[in-house]
Chain A
């Protein structure tokens, strides 16, 4: 699993990458009350805004961590945004992306590097 400076986690699953936000990010954001997901099939470029999440405090964007195509989104979050606080590293993934440049993964942090960054 890899981590971005934007507090996303990236978990390879076959030739796709599952994307979510870290426990630390969920805690910082506070209670999540709204999630807007991209459409399946959308072609995204690295750093495109592709998810909007709103907490009780503010709106934030989740950026596409890689170039590629969105292959699946976690619709369950739309009706139950609070899941992001309950299980950010598990059930509350946001989308799966099929990267067109898989080597972009190499730029991201290991879990240890991420933990060092936030500590």
Chain B
């Protein structure tokens, strides 16, 4: 992957004044002229359009595809109704997380969206382990996200029926004459939609959405600060093969039917550890962290029990200044006995110790249309 790949909307981004950077092997817009701060605040106030076409889109077909998929994820796939989407993750035999993903029941197939950086490994993992399932990587579609409290009003100008969708509904919708696969979901903590669009219609659709006075294009920079304030994990940072779903606080995504005593208990990689941790708890936990000063504390900053204690208890996995919170916000792992909100611990930044408070997640309230 020496050569950067450019995505269907590359020229549009350049046209819109984007600063393009390499990301997971693709040339991506990190910000536009407005800048990260304004883009972030605009998304929380109105509507932001994100190009996330670097993410992997995969269709799984087969008579027992839901059952087969359950062998790779600790999530209820068979019980997911048609036209509904769910969050999940591939686990490994140690109970670590290989990637997190969204999957939708689209009637005769599952539609799965995976992280760009994990795409090749995920496809290999599925090809090796999903027997009797046809695996099709979709490479002729762009993926857009329209996020924010005005997202519904903006998208409804092109297709009024999207207003009827609830959080995590998926539908096929004609947008600008193209067959789009739309879900009511996102990665910002705001209401909104994710739209898989044929690549030859992507620019027309993007321009139509941007034509609305409430919409601004938003880059990866603001995407990161939005998801961080929303308490959402970034794969490779907050979760990876060394973190289990229970440590990561993702047990809400493991439905009862896959847990101990459930009808389809276990049967996924790492089940021993994950089921045990669901019952007994894990020894550490991902928490929100509110640095008490003004300095942002980013990934890699070491955490200590107190200002005068020498033993490192954890590490910050994501951190930035939160434009909506108007303060620095971070996430990281701490021992379970220090994970209660309100606990004050210590972080070492540029050789100096500074207090950090364990904060409830999310930092900003979720604003979904349930």
Q: How far is the CB of A62 from chain B (nearest CB, A)?
A: 13
CB of A36 within 8 A of CB of B295, answer yes
Interface range on chain A: under 10, 10 to 19, 20 to 34, or 35 or more?
10 to 19
CB of B294 within 8 A of CB of A57, answer no
A-B contact count (CB 8 A): 40
CB of B37 closer than 8 Å to a CB of A? yes
Q: Which residue of A lies closest to B352 (CB)?
A: A36
In the bound complex, CA of A52 to CA of B37 (Å): 19
Residues 9 to 36 of chain B near chain A (Cβ within 8 Å): 30-31, 35-36
CB of A56 within 8 A of CB of B298, answer no
Q: How far is the CB of B48 from chain A (nearest CB, A)?
A: 15
CB of A33 within 8 A of CB of B296, answer yes
CB of B225 within 8 A of CB of A56, answer yes
Chain B residues near A52: list those with CB within 8 A: 295, 350
Q: Which residue of B lies closest to A85 (CB)?
A: B35
CB of B298 within 8 A of CB of A31, answer no
Interface membership of chain B positions 291-306, coded 1 if the CB is closer than 8 angstroms to chain A and 0 otherwise: 0001110100000000
CB of B36 within 8 A of CB of A34, answer no
CB of A31 within 8 A of CB of B296, answer no
Chain B residues near A31: list those with CB within 8 A: 35-37
Supposing A30-B35, A30-B36, A31-B36 touch, asked if A54 and B296 sit within 8 A by C-beta, the answer is yes
In the bound complex, CA of A34 to CA of B328 (Å): 9
CB of B46 closer than 8 Å to a CB of A? no
| Contact of A33 (CB < 8 Å), options: B31, B321, B350 | B321
Identify the A interface with B (CB < 8 A): 30-31, 33-34, 36, 52, 54, 56-59, 78, 81
Q: A33-B294, A56-B221, A56-B320 are in contact. List 4 more A-B contacts (CB 8 A).
A: A30-B31, A33-B328, A56-B37, A59-B296
